[in-house]
Amino acid sequence: MRGGRGNEGWRAVLGGNVLWLSLVSLLNDAASEMIYPLLPYFLVGSLGAGPAFLGLIEGVAESTASFLKLGSGWLSDRVRHRKPLVFWGYTIATFARPLIGLVSAPWHVLAVRFADRMGKGMRSAPRDALLAESVPASRRGLAFGFHRAADHAGAVIGPLLASGLLLFAHERLRWVFLLAVIPGMLSLLVIGLKVREPARAAPATAAGTSSGESLGRRIRTGYRGPLGTFLLVLVVFTLGNATDAFLLLRAQDLGVPLALIPLLWAAHHVSKMIWNVPGGLTADRLGPQRAIVAGWCVYALTYAAFAFATRAWHAWALFLGYGLFYGLTEAPEKALIAQLAPAARRGAAFGAYHFSIGIAALPASVIFGAVWATWSARAALLIGGSLALLAALLLVLLVRGPAAEPAACAGATGRTRAVRSDRAPNLRGHGIRQSEDRAGRAAQRPVRGDPEPDAGRGEHRDRGSGHDEHGPAAPAAGRAGRLQCVAHCRDRARLRVGAGAGRVLR
């Protein structure tokens, strides 16, 4: 049975929207990474910009796009259609990005990067909400991990394509930038032909939740409670997490030749790709918070090592190890957002998540570049690592999110389940295996302390624990699934079993 449930979970992840959105990210990132690792050299070497301007470009582009991420998430909740926003976001990026091949001044690059990040801002929150709604709650970490692994696979393919084109084009960077439009156009075909809107019930309107809420109210609501605390801690971490373009400059300082920079970047993304799925599984099994704390500690150690590195092979080793940080944070952060956010506000929650990261990116990259130029690369790297350690400590002390959800509860399918007597002393000796009909009758009778169903969604919210783990992949569980979830909640709060077990049996 356990192996069968695991196979079902993998099939849910490897099919449908998760598969096609992962392929879209692979193609889009291949196009993006044909340009990104070459951009620092192009700015500094060809256009005459300095490290501070590089930080300004990345910071302004990411922070401005963050406002679109916030608005697009709210809009996808309100209109209840996420695919159009995803499609047009990828379209803007696909046709804006190659224009870097036509620029003649540093501020032109700023304008192109701004348009590219606008496209990302439009698509990111709706896409993440679409992924969260396409799989059972207990498999969200795995789904996001698989998606990020595909994204990083594209980031491996992109630099390899760039290196091959540079060899044939005699290091004509502009030709490489222009040809990046091809994989981007392929990603648009996949979205148009394969990605589907999952069926979603009308959102609950209880507890002040309304699908017609204004953007301002959703922002205020999003920054309250555990979700808001986590986002504020995330801002602290992001202030020390400047663009990775600085690490590429650091690699050049350590002696890595320009011709090998795309290969170094590709090797880094191979490491990311390898670690993303294990990181998502870690979030599903141990809880996303533990994975995030571990990832931020890895980040601090890596930045400290970059600060004291002295040789070219140090850069190669550190870029490979740096992928572990991404594996332990990218998918777990999104899984935690999906757990903490009400279903009716999930798009807005992902928008707030991306907004929080992006709004801190401007000061992070600008300050990092200024410290680098004024004092040294070592000082900038040590400051970034220290902020990561501070954020990890704050996450442990301040954020109390929901526990990791067992697959048996979130992935309920309506099949009959045996109640284990060793977990419920009041039921010992009965050898109970209820039929689906009897399970339905028992679930209909209210039991004091049992989870209450969210209106119109077949979901359950555990009062007092913030438990909301039954996404749209689970409503088919019906009444038998509801009874099974009671068993899970009993393990978490035994006092409720004593009050209600006898009534369930009647």
- Residue 412 within any structural domain of the chain: yes
pLDDT in tens, 6-42: 555 566 566 788 899 999 999 999 999 888 878 877 8
**pLDDT given at position 435:** 41
Q: How far is CA 273 from CA 51, 74, 140, 366, 467, in A?
A: 28, 30, 17, 29, 31
Q: Looking at residue 453, what DSSP letter applies?
A: E
Q: What is the per-residue pLDDT for 216? A: 54
DSSP 8-state class, residue 98? G
What's the structural domain count of the chain?
2
CB 28 within 8 A of CB 93: yes
Q: Does 248 share its domain with 336?
A: yes
Domain assignment of residue 320, given as a range: 8-195+220-398
pLDDT in tens, the chain (506 residues): 444 555 555 665 667 888 999 999 999 999 998 888 788 778 877 787 777 787 778 767 766 777 787 778 778 878 777 898 999 999 999 999 989 888 888 888 888 988 888 888 888 888 988 888 888 877 888 888 888 888 888 888 888 888 888 888 776 788 889 999 999 999 999 999 989 887 654 444 434 444 445 555 555 555 567 888 899 999 999 999 888 888 988 998 898 887 788 788 888 888 988 888 888 888 888 888 899 999 999 999 999 999 999 899 999 999 999 999 998 998 898 888 888 887 777 788 888 888 888 778 778 888 888 899 889 889 999 999 999 999 999 999 987 755 444 444 444 333 333 333 334 444 334 443 344 344 444 444 444 444 444 433 333 444 334 444 444 444 444 444 444 454 444 444 443 434 444 443 33
In a domain, 462, yes or no: yes
Nearest to 303 by CA among 389, 392, 394: 389
* 51-84 per-position pLDDT tens digit: 778 777 876 776 677 778 777 877 887 877 789 8
Q: 276 and 145 in contact (C-beta within 8 Å)?
A: yes
In a domain, 1, yes or no: no
Q: Do residue 419 and residue 370 come from a single domain? A: no
Decide which of 371, 398, 425 is a domain's last residue: 398
Asked if 428 and 312 sit in the same domain, the reply is no
Both 475 and 385 in one domain: the answer is: no
| Residue 300 sits in the same domain as residue 424 | no
Q: Are 155 and 180 part of one and the same domain?
A: yes
235 closest CA partner among 325, 361, 66, 70: 361
